[in-house]
Amino acid sequence: MRTTTIAHTRRHVGVAVGAFSGSGAVTFNTGKATDAGDAPTSDTLFQIGSVTKLFTALALADQVVNRSLSLDTALETVLPGLPLADRSRRITLRHLASHTSGLPRLPKGLRRQALRNRTDPYRNFSTGDLLAALTAARPHPEPGSRIRYSNFGMALLGQILTLHTGLEYEQLVADRITGPLRMPDTTITMRSEQERRTAISHSRPGHPVPDWHLGAMPGAGALRSTVHDLLIFLRAHLDPSSTAIPEALRLVQQQQARANRWLQVGLGWHLSPLRGTDHRALWHNGGTAGSCSYVALVPDAGVGVVALTNTGRPVDSLGVRLLTRLVQRTTR
């Protein structure tokens, strides 16, 4: 893998980027990751925010492939005895993984807690809080009828998988995804050696800020990762047969719902046409108060891109520009 630098951007404290086209790969970096001024590398750990949702959806797909669960399993089945406010609107695991559950973006009660702890808004939100929010929820629109992006829904899916398997979320991801794919730096709890490689988070204006802890919502955004690991993750989707979880990787890429010509969803993945090309990209982004992430893959062209920053400013535009150029060059 070739490594180079990119021109520093004043909008971000540090940026690490990786890309591949066919068998070739390159990583880029700029700015600083630590107080000492060290530049980020492909092995620097960043909070990846909602890119975590791809791992939650893949963990569900793995359970489906192994016939432990079905995409059409209803919440009443996996959460028996939970009093739901509106049982007429049947939510399934497919709905949670494809953002078509009708549940709101955030669970009821979270904003109130966040106001008391603005620097770490999810930290004290418990499993009891999450399930209480579900019992009070009235899905809108009808589950399965429209895409409505929901941290609540994906966090709930993570909790359901935890309850179903008897494994904590982090252990489930390690056992079924990052272990088999050999992604040792995709984790929640860091070893001391990993802490030394972790980027310090910064607000949009560039001031250091605390990292977020996701409480009972790890499936919505708790993971950290590196450019190196996420490139492995993308390549696994490109060539599922080379991995230990081929059918699950194929399943998450299948379209489940459509908003319009510009946005469809798989399980976790967003699917969109890549402007300036004849291809469709699978993509997801993420963000916390002090970090942002973007990952994308164009299977037909064999191209993938990862962009991570330790600043609360998106890197989507950087990732899309690089993805587009690589696809245009590959298919010229």
- Residue 32 pLDDT > 90: yes
Query: How far are the Cα atoms of 20, 51, 156, 284, 325 from residue 234, in angstroms, in the given order?
Result: 9, 12, 25, 11, 18
Task: Take residue 146 and report the two structure tokens written for it.
Answer: 């429209």
**Residue range 235-243: average pLDDT?**
98
Instruction: Pick the most confident of 9-18, 31-40, 147-156.
Output: 147-156
Mean pLDDT is lowest, of 11-25, 80-94, 168-182, 195-209, for: 80-94
| 74/94 Cα distance (integer angstroms) | 9
Mean pLDDT of the chain: 93
pLDDT band at 274 (very low <50, low <70, confident <90, very high): very high
Task: Take residue 301 and report the two structure tokens written for it.
Answer: 């062209």
Instruction: Give the end-to-end CA distance of the chain in Å, rounded to a whole number.
Output: 23
| 284/293 Cα distance (integer angstroms) | 8
Q: Tell me the per-residue pLDDT of 118-134, one tens digit each, with 9 for 90 and over.
A: 889 999 999 999 999 99
Q: Tell me the per-residue pLDDT of 183-201, one tens digit each, with 9 for 90 and over.
A: 999 999 999 999 999 999 9
pLDDT of residue 36: 83
pLDDT of residue 85: 60
Q: Tell me the per-residue pLDDT of 40-69, one tens digit each, with 9 for 90 and over.
A: 999 999 999 999 999 999 999 999 999 999
| 82/62 Cα distance (integer angstroms) | 25
> Domains (ranges, CATH) in the chain?
2-70+168-330 (3.40.710.10)
Q: Parallel, antiparallel, or unpaired: how do β-strands 2-5 and 24-31 relate?
A: parallel
Cβ atoms of 97 and 283 within 8 Å: the answer is no
**Residue range 285-296: average pLDDT?**
97
Cβ atoms of 274 and 323 within 8 Å: the answer is yes
Angle at 287 between CA 198 and CA 94, to 5 degrees: 115
Query: pTM of the prediction?
Result: 0.95
pLDDT of residue 4: 46
Query: How crowded is residue 142: how many other Cβ atoms within 10 Å of its Cβ?
Result: 12
Angle at 120 between CA 117 and CA 123, to 5 degrees: 95
The residue to which tokens 């982090």 are assigned:
170
- Residue 7 pLDDT > 80: no
